[in-house]
Every structure is written in structure tokens, then in C-alpha cells.
Amino acid sequence: MFNTIEEYLETLKKELKGSDKALVQDALADTFEHLSLAMEEVYKKSPNIGNSDALDSIISEYGLPCEIANAYKDIKKNKSIFMKNVKKPINFWEKAISAYIDPHTWGSLIFMFITFITGILYFTWVIVGAVLSSVLMIVIIGIPLTIGFIVSVQLLAFFEGRLIEVLLGERMPKRPLFIKSGLKWGARLKILITDKHTWFFMIYMLLQMPLGILYFTMNIVLLVCSVTFIFAPLSNVFSIDFIKINSMPHWMLYLLPIAGIIMLTLTMNLIRAIGWIHGKYAKLVLVR
């Protein structure tokens, strides 16, 4: 019925059409791993067996694409450990206040601070790698170096995906991309360079630096301002002059905590929203 593993994978992909992209990739990766190993073993036992005969015997035990697709569809929608048992808020106010206890918010906040560091590292890595690879391309060492650099970018993209899944709760692929073994350096390089996702990964990594700086600055400014406003009346108690606004009536100092609480609530909601948007954006760029 199937002549190659690729044909089987194509059919499986069709059966999974409309499912979560990451789930499709998990299913294809698991299937590819199993069928490749099984084929290897069948060929060891019977070297003269035909491709389709070998596959037929393997698939009879592994299952048809429709059976496998149904098995994956049956898995409950995967959520990060952080995201389980979160009660859905019902009205606007509950929804706004829920940002304080919603693990999405805290996951997103941690992710944004981490992005400040990873953004700089990714940016430096991509710039240095791209420059070195292009300059050394004229000598023979350039080809393996470029392959190494592109593979490292894919591994970093995989790492970023894991980070996003754990902290932002967005499903991402669970294994690095794979290139058939036994190919020559030139052929490997061609596959990697002509793969549009290689370029998507690099653009994503370059953009992480400005985004990381933006997230970091925004969070620090908004959180510090909010907390300062909330505790403003204490400055009177302890005679601290750190909030001294000339011409501000004394009683207004006691209104600042309300402004601070509103600001903090808006900030927490903003953090949650940015985390959600970043998760969707990353999935679009990092998942095949």
C-alpha cells in the first residue's frame, strides 16, 4: 500500500489536517522514528525484501495512518503543568483581577525577563555565526562551519520552543529537526539553506533582542511605578521624600494607592496578553 515512509507520513499528515500544528509534528516525528528503526531491522533480517513489502509488514503492527491519527486526536489538549486547574473567570472584573493568580501571567513575566538575556545571546550568536560563515565560505572550512551554525540555530529554536511551552503554555514541537544521515556536506548545506524555516528562526532570534529589551524596560517601569504609587502614603509615615510632587495637595497622596492598584492590575493583564501574543507569534515562526 505504501512504497516509502514519506508516503505514509504524507497520508498521516492529511489525516491530521486541522489538528494542532505541534501535535501533527509530534505524530510525524514519532512515526518517522518508529518506521525508520523498524525498516532498518527488517532489512537486517531480509536484505532482499522489497520496500513496500517491508513497510506493509511493519504497518500491520504499527497501524494505519487513520488509526494513528485518531490515537493522537484522542489525547486531551496538552497544557503546560503551570496551566492546569485554572478556573475560567466569568465576568470582566473577575477576568481582570484573575491576572494576579493566573499562572499565565507569572509564566509570561518570567519569560519576558529571561528574554532580556536570551535575546542578547541569540542576537550575538546569529550575527557572529552569520558573519563567520559568510566570510569563511570561500575556504573549504566554511561549509561544515555554516552547517554547524545553522544546526545550532535550529537547536536554539528548539530550546526556545521548550521555554515557551513551559512558561507560556503554548504547544511547541518536542524534538529538533532531523536531516537524513549519510548525505554529503554540500547536500546537507543545500537542504538547510533552502529551508525557509532556517531563515525564520534567524529572524526570530534577531528580533528577540529588541523585544527582550522592550519587555524588560516596560515591566520594570510599570511594576516599579505601580508599587511606588501603592506605597506612597508610607513616605509620609516614615518622612521619606522619594515621592515629592510640588503643588500636589496632601490628601492626594492617599489617592495614589488606588491609582497604583489600577496600574498594577492593568500591567498584570498586559503581561498576560503579551505572553499570549508572543506564544502565538513564536508558534507561527518556530513550528513547521
- Which of 89/176 has CB closer to other proteins? 176
> How far apart are CB 22 and other proteins at their closest, in Å?
11
Cα 96 to Cα 13, 61, 89, 281: the distances in Å are: 39, 51, 9, 23
Q: From residue 152, how far is each of 33, 179, 272, 279, 282 by CA, in Å? A: 22, 13, 30, 22, 18
Tell me the Cα Rg of the chain. 26
- If one asks whether residue 241 binds other proteins (CB under 8 A), the answer comes out as no
Name which position in 81, 90, 138, 139 contacts other proteins (CB under 8 A). Answer: 81
Q: Would you give the binding string for other proteins spanning residues 213-232, x where CB under 8 A is met?
A: --------------------
Beta strand residue intervals within 102-238, DSSP E: none
Q: Are 250 and 159 in contact (CB under 8 A)?
A: no
Least distance to other proteins, CB of residue 249, Å: 56
Query: Residue 78 CB, nearest distance to other proteins (Å)?
Result: 6
**Cβ contacts of 127 within 8 Å, gap of 6 or more:** 206
Q: Is 45 in the site for other proteins (CB under 8 A)?
A: no
Distant-in-sequence, close-in-space partners of 195: CB < 8 Å, separation ≥ 6: none
Write the binding mask 9 to 38 for other proteins: x where contact by CB under 8 A, - elsewhere.
-----------------xx-xxxxxx-xxx
How many of the other CB atoms lie within 10 Å of CB of 19? 14
Q: Which three cell numbers mark 171?
A: 504547544
Q: How many residues bind other proteins (CB under 8 A)?
A: 29
- Judge whether 158 and 176 are in contact, CB under 8 Å: yes
Q: Rule CB under 8 A: choose which of 89, 114, 137, 176 binds other proteins.
A: 176
Lookup: cell for 213: 529589551
Shortest distance in whole angstroms from residue 176 CB to other proteins: 6
278 CB contacts (<8 Å, ≥6 apart)? 108, 111, 164, 168, 211
Q: Shortest Cβ distance from residue 37 to other proteins (Å)?
A: 4
Closest CA to 105 of 282, 273, 277, 279: 273
User: For other proteins, which is the closer residue by CB, 185 or 242?
Assistant: 185
195 binds other proteins (CB under 8 A): no
* In the complex, least distance from residue 215 CB atom to other proteins, rounded to whole angstroms: 28
Residues 72, 111, 116, 215: which binds other proteins (CB under 8 A)? Answer: 72
Binding to other proteins (CB under 8 A): which residues in 91-130?
Answer: none
**Which uninterrupted H or E stretch holds 105?**
helix 103-136
| 85 touches other proteins (CB under 8 A) | no
Applying CB under 8 A, the residues found at the interface with other proteins are: 26-27, 29-34, 36-38, 40, 61-63, 67-68, 71-72, 74-76, 78, 81, 174-176, 178, 181
